[in-house]
Amino acid sequence: MQKLVIALVLVAAVMMVEVTGQDSMLAPPDRPSEFRSPDELRRYLKALNEYYAIVGRPRFGRSVNKRSADNFLFKTAKKLDYGFLYDDEDWIPQY
């Protein structure tokens, strides 16, 4: 029983760290209302460049193998049956 409780607490802690850590990573740097020195502008532009380097990075192939939940749950066919458009009762779709 103790191992189960420890495992659940550990999983909950990891999930909380994962969720709360994403906000700070994806947030753009705060822009000052006024740049008081060239060095301050340089630091802001560097932080902004790092932000766009992470957020704007192309993610090739990440969604190629993903299936929608609808296709997975209901096994929808790729080809649609348009037989209802025809008057012929004997019409059978040929694939």
Structure-model confidence comparison of residues 56 and 72, the more confident one? 56
DSSP per-residue string spanning 4-63: HHHHHHHHHHHHHHHHHHHHHHHSPPPPPSS--SHHHHHHHHHHHHHHHHHHT---TTSS
Whether the model clears a pTM of 0.95, i.e. scores above it, the answer is no
Average pLDDT, the chain: 75
* Percent over 90 (pLDDT), the chain: 29
pLDDT digits (tens, 9 = 90+) for 27-65: 888 999 999 999 999 999 999 999 888 888 776 665 555
Tokens of 17: 């760290």
